[in-house]
Structures are given as C-alpha cells and as structure tokens.
Amino acid sequence: MGKIHSVLAGVAALSLAGGPAMSEPAIIYDIGGKFDKSFNESAYNGAETWKEQANGDYREIELQSEAQREQAIRRLAEAGNNPIAMPGFSFGTPLNTVAPEFPDTKFVIIDMVVDQPNVRSVLFKEHEGSYVVGVLAAMASDSGTVGFVGGMDIPLIRKFSCGYVQGVMETNPDARVIQNMTGTTGAAWNDPVKGAELARAQVAEGADVIYHAAGGTGVGVLQAAADAGVLGIGVDANQNYLQPGSVLTSMVKRVGSAVLSAFSDGPELETGIVEMGFADGGISYALDEHNAPLVTDEMKAAADSAVEKIMAGEIMVHNYLTSDSCPYG
C-alpha cells in the first residue's frame, strides 16, 4: 500500500492543457472548477507545486457536465498520461469502468474507493478535523447556537457535519447546531448565492459561528457570515484569508498533498487505499495572521488537546460512513 507523503504546502470542449503526453501526469477537476477556492483549488495547487519542484508539466481537464467524466478519463489514458488524478467521489463509477481498460495506467481518486489493481484511493479523516473545529466553534459562540452548511447532500458531507456536531456538543452540551444542505446534485458545489441565503437564515435563528463543507458554495457562506458580523469556518483549503477577522479557522484537508504525492511517484506509484489524518498532516485546523486574534490561548489549547487525544485514541470521533447515521443529531 502506498504511503502519501504529507506536504504542507463539451466532450469536444474538453480541452487538454499542456504539450505531448510522454507519460505526463494529468488531473481532472470535479464540477465547480479548479478555482473554487476550496477542494478543487487545493488539488490544483498540489499539481502546480509538483510542476515547480519537478520542472515538469501536466495536463488538465475541467468538466463542464457530469456526462463528461468517463470520456475525460478515457481520453487522458488513451493519450498516455500517467498517473491520472481525479479529486471527487463522483469519479468512482466511471473510473471503475475505465481503469480495467488501461491496466498499465495508474489512477488516483480522492474521496472514494475504487477496488482496481491500478488505482490508488485516497481518503481523509474529515470527521476528525471537523470535530476539532467544532470544539473551536462551541468555545467562540456567544449565543450557544452554531451552524453548518453542507454542499451536496451525500454521506461524505454528513461525515463532516456529524464530526462537527460531536465536537460542538462535547464541548458545550447545551449548544444548538443548525444544519442545512445546499442541494442534491453537483450544482450544490458551486452556488454561493444559495450558500449565502442559508447562512443568513441560520444567523436569523441565532447562529453566530457557521462551518461550511460546500466547495465553491462556501464562499457565499463566509461572505454572508462576515456581512452579518458572525464567524465562518472554512474547509479544505485554508480560507482564513477570504474574510480576514471573520473566519474563525479552516478545516484544512490537504487534497493538494495527495495530488503532489501521486505526481511525484509517477507511473510507478503504489496502489491501494490510503487514509490521511492528523498524524501525517493530511488534516489540520488553520491558524495564521488572519484569524489569530479570534483564537484565544484557551481555545488553541483545547483544539490542540483534542488533536492529541484523537491521535492517541482517547477521543473516538463518529464516522458517519461506517453507520449511515449520526448519534449527535
């Protein structure tokens, strides 16, 4: 099983950026685009870091519709790109179809397991990171009511929300958590207007800290929170800079590290399932100049203690994916 090295740092219209393949790596961004300031952009940054470090080049595709997934994967494989990375669970079914057709090509999928001998499946312990930002949310809240805005209503996003609620409730048992999902299709990842609407509704109900796990939709959540004078919590990438002084922290999920590692390993990368968490730097909470005044020493100590206890097995964070339910509401 390969080890991910932590690094902090229309079909016709499917344009392939870059020159001749020559075993160049490639990446296919999920719906929402590579500049979503969140999940896809983190993957893009990992690819760009590899490009700078290796003085190499890679190809990329930005999907315009769900129907393009399978053909995009096949097109890159036929062109000789290797490995081919794809961040997003929605690539699971098409990759499971295409991977056996190209046994000499290595594929990397993030947030989904595809059981094929030439696939590396990278998962993250998002529930654990969400627990920690939940601790911070509970401590920062004056009203005792906090919120969560998810993107597409799928088990993976319920994994985020459940961990968050657990962290909040174990810090303040009297707290209230308002939860909303943006939608049930891929469009839910790129609807900042809807994200802002949901955030404003939560503020109207008393929420003074709102965590999002909604991709590009979350930009609207953070903006609405800042406009209302409450705190937001970012996700995937460090989003503290988007609304300095109004983003309490960000639950950083280093998707870029997974892409960087895959591109660095090249066609010889080891396959199998890899899970990244606090111990290998795959997950963290963000503390920088943009949010330092918001996180007191007491809050930082509580968050760091939670991280240590999670790594030591002293705090067991519920994983929604293992039970398809959340005991914390």
Of 29-43, 63-77, 157-171, which gets the smallest average pLDDT? 29-43
* pLDDT above 70 for 216: yes
pLDDT on residue 10: 35
The residues spanned by each domain of the chain are: 2-124+255-276, 126-252+296-323
pLDDT on residue 186: 87
Q: 1, 5, 86: which is closest to 264 by C-alpha?
A: 5
Largest CA distance in the chain: 60
Environment class of 56 (CB within 10 Å of its CB; exposed 0-12, middle 13-18, buried 19+) = middle
pLDDT on residue 5: 33
Environment class of 1 (CB within 10 Å of its CB; exposed 0-12, middle 13-18, buried 19+) = exposed
Average pLDDT of the residues of the chain = 92
Q: What is the DSSP letter of 142?
A: S
pLDDT on residue 9: 29
* pLDDT above 90 for 80: yes
pLDDT category at 81 given cuts 50, 70, 90 is very high
pLDDT on residue 22: 53
pLDDT on residue 144: 98
Nearest-angstrom CA–CA distance, 2 and 5: 9
Kindly report whether the global pTM for this prediction surpasses the value 0.75.
yes
pLDDT on residue 64: 86
Per-residue pLDDT reduced to its tens digit, 39-69? 899 999 999 999 999 999 999 999 988 899 9
**Whether the domain at 2-124+255-276 and the domain at 126-252+296-323 fall into the same CATH topology:** yes
Contact 249, 285 (CB under 8 A): yes
* pLDDT above 70 for 31: yes
Which amino acid is present at 136?
L
**More confident of the two residues 164 and 36:** 164
* pLDDT above 50 for 4: no
Per-residue pLDDT reduced to its tens digit, 200-215? 999 999 999 999 999 9
Nearest-angstrom CA–CA distance, 159 and 320: 5
**More confident of the two residues 282 and 33:** 282
pLDDT on residue 47: 97
pLDDT on residue 17: 45
Strand partners, 326: none
pLDDT on residue 28: 98
Of 39-43, 82-86, 121-125, which gets the smallest average pLDDT? 39-43
Of 8-22, 103-117, 296-310, which gets the smallest average pLDDT? 8-22
pLDDT on residue 37: 86
Q: Which CATH architecture has domain 126-252+296-323?
A: 3-Layer(aba) Sandwich (3.40)
Of 28-37, 40-49, 162-171, 221-230, which gets the smallest average pLDDT? 28-37
* pLDDT above 70 for 16: no
Per-residue pLDDT reduced to its tens digit, 125-161? 999 999 999 999 999 999 999 999 999 999 999 999 9
For the domain made up of 2-124+255-276, the CATH class stated in words is alpha beta
* pLDDT above 90 for 329: no
Instruction: Tell me if the bond preceding 20 is cis, omega within 30° of 0.
Output: no
